[in-house]
Every structure is written in structure tokens, then in C-alpha cells.
Structure 1
Amino acid sequence: MSANNKRVYLSPPHMGGAEQEYVQQAFESNFIAPLGPMVNGFEQDFSKLSGLKHCAALSSGTAALHIAQHILGIGPNDIVLASSLTFIGSVSSATFLGAEAAFIDSDYKSWNMDPDLLAEAVEYYIALGRKPKAVVPTDLYGQCADYDRILEILEPHGIPIVVDAAESVGATYKGRHAGKGALMAAYSFNGNKIITTSGGGLLASDDEEIISRARWLSQQAKEPLPYYEHKEIGFNYRMSNLVAAVGRGQLEVLQDRVNRKREIFDLYKEALSGCTGISFMPEAEYGRCNRWLTVILIDEKEFGATPDQVRIALENENIESRPVWKPMHMQPVFSKNKIFGGQVSEDLFKRGLCLPSGTAMTQDDMDRTVKIIKGCGK
């Protein structure tokens, strides 16, 4: 590794400048503990951005998915259908509640949940007398799942959709923001997301009652009394005022970040266009992906190297890349869970590699990355 080669991270935080002003306001108000005016402001800002009428700012995207499914009454022996090609946080929330997750494979046109396989899974479980309690599609790498097609399948059966939009803040589906149209949508503002609060999440819905209940549950389900009384178990999931202050500054630059992520994708695509055996994650015709990460597929026979050989070559030059999510049905912890399909997500995992896509990366960072990738080929 060259001594003068700085570390290039996969998707590091990128501050816009206004974050410090909001944080300073939080300090001056002395709202340092969870809740406060910045949390309220962040929820209002996100509602205005997304078009979802009601928002509850929480400690993580996983917390948002957990509360969402708790509100739906999901419990032991219930079935929750989820994308297989995703991060485990999409699925672990169902297991917290004792439910059984069953996995739906991806399709090649979007890499997201295959609606035809979803329809097959719904009919399968209804025939067994176990109608699924919820469907949780993941918006993979910033690309929305096909919400309308999924809703078309679920609505006749009264099955709710909870979108895992952790990766798709700023993306759109048929002109509406990611998550809009679902009963609930969960978002993440983890340190590597397109915008960040350092750690945090949010649950959004057009149903005011759902979000009111989510807020209440996220504060230990305390009854509105002068002393602490609890009639059911809640959670400690509220976002802190300081974290929300960072988020308000980040929301101001979201569109700039989406534009830059898409520009990075286009630059990679142009630079690697002459490499036989390399292809890119497609953009579904129904939406605008935020391109959170630029993801390529590598055909070993045509290109001359495996994705892992490319990853190691990049790491040797202090450049971070990452394999595509390992499908949930391939995870040891879910080895006994049912999968509908599976071949597509297995193939994407085998051939996929996520390239460094930080919005502050320089042309030199990209040139270094591209040069190393090209050097791995025939």
C-alpha cells in the first residue's frame, strides 16, 4: 500500500455546514436529552420533504421497523414476508416479536422484491391458513421497490405493507418520495447513509393515529399522569435533540447529495464502460434511484477476476469496497426459514461489489479506484 494514499471510505458522512448552527441552537436551549424542539423540527422537515403527513424520529431504522410491526400486532407464529436481498435489520425486527420471516427473491430489473414471487408466497400461506401479517420490501441501494404492484397483490387480502426505506431517502417512485403509499415506511440516518444524523431513524405514515402511538411506545409507553404508570411495555427509541439538530442541517442538502451520488454512478459507468464483464445495477423505469451506493456486477470469466479479488486489490490500496448484501436465506441464523425463489439474489451476491460512493470523494479518489479495478481485468 502506498504511504501517501489516503483512505477512501465506502460512504462516509458529508456535512453541509448548517448542522453546527442547529446543534448550537440545541446547546443554547439546553435541550440536550432526548426530545426537544429540534426533534419536532426534524419530523416536520421530513414530512414536508417526503409528503408523508406524520413522522416519529427514532433511534434507528431497525427501531422504526420494530415499532411498526409491534403496532400491527405481530407476534409469535405470525408470518412476515420480507426481501431476501437486504441488511439483517430489515428482518430482525420481526424476530424480536417472535414472528417467522419468510423471504422473497429479487428480480433482475430492479434487484428488489419480485412481485410475482410475492404473489406466490401470499397464496401459499393463505392456503395454509396463515395469512401473512405484513410484507416488508426493502428499497435496495436507494431504489424503490415496485410499490403499486405489491399493493395490488396485498390489498385484496388486507395485508399491510411496511417499506424498509432505510437506503432510499431522496429517491422517488412514480414521482413520489420513497415510502409514500405504504401504510408505514422506515428510514435510516446511520453514518453511512445518503444523509446522516450520526445514528438515527424515523417512522412515517399518513395515518396520524399510527404515528401518535409510535411516539408513545418509543417513550416507554408512559401514561399521561404526573407519576410513572405503564399499562403496556414500551421502548426507549426516541431520537435525541442533538442528533435531530444534525439531521435538520443534512436535510437541507439532501437533493445535492442525491445529485452527486447519481453523478458518481454515471462517472463510474463511463470510466468502466470499456471493461468486458462489468455491468451496473439497473434503474427501474418507474422511479429515480438515489444511487446511495454504486454497485457493479463482475463476470469472472469475461473480466478475469472475481469481485473478491477486486475488493482485496482495492483494500490493498486503502480503498474500501463491499460485497453486495448476503441474502437472508443464506444466513446461518435463518437456515430453516422458507425462501421463494433465491437464485437471483444468490447470483447478485456472488457477482456484486459496492464501490466507494461518498459524495465528498474527489476525482483523484475515483481515478485511483477505477485504475485498480481495470488493473484486475484481463
Structure 2
Amino acid sequence: MPLCVPEIRGNEWQYVKNCLDTSWVSSVGAYVDRFEQKMAERLGAPFHGVATVNGTAALHTALLVAGVQPDDEVLVSDLTFIAPANAIRYAGAWPVLIDAEPGCWQMDPQQVELFLTRDCEMAGGVLRNRQSGRRVKAIIPVHILGHPVDLDPIMELAGRFDLVVIEDATEGLGGHYRGSPLGGIGHIGCYSFNGNKMITTGGGGMLVTGNPQWAEKARYLTTQAKDDPLEYIHGELGFNYRLTNLQAAMGCAQLEQLDAYLSAKEAIADRYRQELCMVPGITPMPTVDYGQSAWWLYTVRVDPAQYGMDRKTLMQRLAAEGIQTRPLWQPLHLSPVYRQAQRIGGEVSEQLNSSALSLPCSVGLSAAEQQRVIEALVRLGG
């Protein structure tokens, strides 16, 4: 039983076939424009979408259009997949790793405030890190597992210190924060359409922003910074980051099913929560009153003292029964490539990494399959 696999149930075959029949298969075509428009429409006016080859490319491009320069610093979630930190380095900047908060496992706004007020100072109208002397330019809160970050305090801090907020909503498509779609609250939002995401184009991503100049700049940079429609004149360093029409066709079909997918994910999450809340040593995934999770990966915490085994042993025991699960990412401050990065906290991220386990939660997960997972968790504990 796989952890999280794509669901293909709509117009994918029809739209992809149309691309093949018309030979519009590369990085231009009607489906690219349509996919960008439909994604922007889900966020409401006046958003603009720029499709990219993957979510990491969207993050890299977002940093560049936001004005992040070499040797700047960008705050980013410590507990996340490594992609946003890598995107910061692609831009020549440096990550500052912000711990998770224990309630809902997201970037801790209090730690953000602690860094900005204790470790930084304004000099000549520029916010600088006292320790490194570098300019602090942006914040990348990552909505891990589809759950919303508490964004109001982060947006307030960004306004106070003149920082750009780039939401990493690569796992949060369809989630909401205080009624607003994740990815549409910060200055720029980024999504991923990898094979295991809420919707998929096989690979792919998108940058969204309400700033039309930034959207135009992103489109320019992702198409090799070509200055003339005919002549090959390039004014800046650009990138081959555009999504293909073939992939966008699949994305259009997937987006048509998003609401149904979200309903299925929520039903799976509700059942896990109801069935597992009484299992000693298993803590269901948290919920909050300020937002609605997209429930991308349903994740529990395992207390070895109460459950009878740690999450690593449980993962192995479930694998032996053909049930795929997955740990959370190693906190970035423990990753060899980022061990020298400045971090604020980190203890909560380590605790979550050691105890959290993601359970099968594909959109197409049947009731019988989910019951099998639940029964295995009940039987193996104690």
C-alpha cells in the first residue's frame, strides 16, 4: 500500500491527446496559459501565475524577483524538505533556520520575532544580522504537510522590518489561513505539482503573485531572459524554467478535480483522527482554529514509552506488512550541507523528526485499505 500516489480520473487523457494531436507539446501553448490563469483564479484577483518546471524553480525565481541578492539572508523553516534552503543558495543568499512550534509543527512566529529583534539591527534603513553583517531580505514560511503556518504575526513582522514573504505552499494547495488560500497571503506564493502532491503534472510548479511587475519579471527570467521576440538578445542571466504545454494540459485536468481531491483527503484525515485518538502513544495530526489544512500527508506522532516502539521501528514493522509510511525530513540544521547555517531554536524540529510518521493517504485510498492501516497500528502497539 503506497504512501501517496497520483489520482487520474478526469480529462487528463483528452487534454494530453489534444497536445499530441496538435503538436503543441513544448514550453508554449494554450494549456500553459490556461493552467496559469486557472491557478490564479483560485486565489482571486489580482493574482498572476507563472508556471515552472518544478516547485524549486518557482522558489528560486521568486527569490530573484523579490530582490534577494548574493550574500543576503532569508529566514526559512528548519523542518522542511531541503528545496527552499537550496533555492536560497541558488540565489547566492544564505538561509537562517527557524524552528517549528510544537502545536502545529510549522515555522514558529515567536522565533522569527526573536531573531529579528534580538539578532538584527537597522542600519541606514537596511536590516542586518548583527552576527554576520548581512542584509536580511525575506522570509520563506513552509506550510508543511498541507497545514497552514500562522501567518498574521509573520506578515506583521515583515511589514515592520520591510521583508518579502514568499509562501512555500508546495504542500498546501487547497488549504486556507483565516479564509484565504495558502500561497495567496504573502507577497509571492509557490506551488509544486510533483507526482505525490495534491495535484500533479508529473513534475512542475508555479509562482503566483499579485504584483504584475514581479509576474512579468518571473516570466522573463524563466524563459532565458529573452529581450526580443525574434532576435536572440538576452539582457540578463535567465533560466530554462518553463513548464511544457503537455504537462500543463495534465495540470488543467487535475485542477478541475482539486475540490473533490480535497474532500477525499479531509475524509481520510477525519477517519484517522477518530480511530487513532484512543490508541495509547499515537497522537493524531493537529488542527487549528485559524486555518484549514489541505491534509497533504496525514502524519501522527509516536511516543515510544506509551506505544511500545519508536517511529522508526513502527515504520519497519508496517513495511513488513506492505504498508508504506514515511518519516518527516531531517531538520535542516542537522543536514551536513546546512550545519553551518545560523539557526534559531531547533529542538522542536528534532523532536518532531524523531517521532512523526506519515501514513498512507492517497486520494484514492479505499475505506478497506485505510482500515487495514488502522488495525495494524492498533495491533502493533502496547
TM above 0.5, yes or no, is yes
Q: 1:197 aligns with which of 179, 194, 201?
A: 201
What corresponds to 2:213 in structure 1?
209
Establish whether residue 71 from structure 1 lines up as the match of residue 65 from structure 2: yes
Q: Is the 8 A contact 1:38 1:241 kept in 2?
A: yes
SS of residue in 2 equivalent to 1:162: strand
Q: 2:350 aligns with which of 346, 349, 358?
A: 346
Q: 1:234 aligns with which of 213, 233, 238?
A: 238
Q: Deviations over 1:63-93 (max 9, x none)?
A: 0000111123323321111000100012100
Return the alpha-carbon distance in structure 2 between the equivalents of residues 164 and 336 of structure 1: 23
Return the alpha-carbon distance in structure 1 between the equivalents of residues 226 and 205 of structure 2: 21
Return the alpha-carbon distance in structure 2 between the equivalents of residues 137 and 366 of structure 1: 31
Return the alpha-carbon distance in structure 1 between the equivalents of residues 237 and 219 of structure 2: 13
Establish whether residue 92 from structure 1 lines up as the match of residue 86 from structure 2: yes
Return the alpha-carbon distance in structure 1 between the equivalents of residues 211 and 68 of structure 2: 18
Q: Which 10-residue stretch deviates more, 28-37 or 62-71? A: 28-37
Q: How far 1:225 sits from its partner (Å)? A: 4.4
Return the alpha-carbon distance in structure 2 between the equivalents of residues 149 and 204 of structure 1: 22
Establish whether residue 125 from structure 1 lines up as the match of residue 129 from structure 2: no
Q: 2:16 aligns with which of 23, 32, 35?
A: 23
What corresponds to 2:109 in structure 1?
115
Q: Is the 8 A contact 2:285 2:298 kept in 1?
A: yes
Q: Which runs of 5+ in 2 are unaligned?
A: 122-128
Return the alpha-carbon distance in structure 2 between the equivalents of residues 330 and 315 of structure 1: 26
Q: 1:259 aligns with which of 259, 263, 274?
A: 263
Q: How far 1:223 sits from its partner (Å)? A: 1.0
What corresponds to 1:34 in structure 2?
27
Q: How far 1:249 sits from its partner (Å)? A: 0.6
What corresponds to 1:11 in structure 2?
4
Return the alpha-carbon distance in structure 2 between the equivalents of residues 317 and 264 of structure 1: 20
Q: Is the 8 A contact 2:50 2:208 kept in 1?
A: yes
Over the aligned positions, Cα root-mean-square deviation in angstroms equals 1.3
Q: Deviations over 1:97-124 (max 9, x none)?
A: 2211110011122211111110111221
Q: Is the 8 A contact 1:122 1:131 kept in 2?
A: no
Q: Deviations over 1:97-154 (max 9, x none)?
A: 2211110011122211111110111221336253411100000110121222101111
Q: Is the 8 A contact 1:313 1:372 kept in 2?
A: no
Q: Percent sequence identity over matched residues?
A: 35
The amino acid across from 1:366 in the alignment is: Q
Q: How far 1:329 sits from its partner (Å)? A: 1.0
Q: Is the 8 A contact 1:184 1:205 kept in 2?
A: yes
TM-score by length of 1: 0.95
Where do 4+ consecutive residues of structure 1 move more than 4 Å? none
The amino acid across from 1:326 in the alignment is: Q
TM-score by length of 2: 0.94
Within a 5 Å distance, the mapping from 1:276-315 to structure 2 comes to 276-315=280-319
Q: Is the 8 A contact 2:173 2:294 kept in 1?
A: yes
Say how many residue pairs are matched: 371
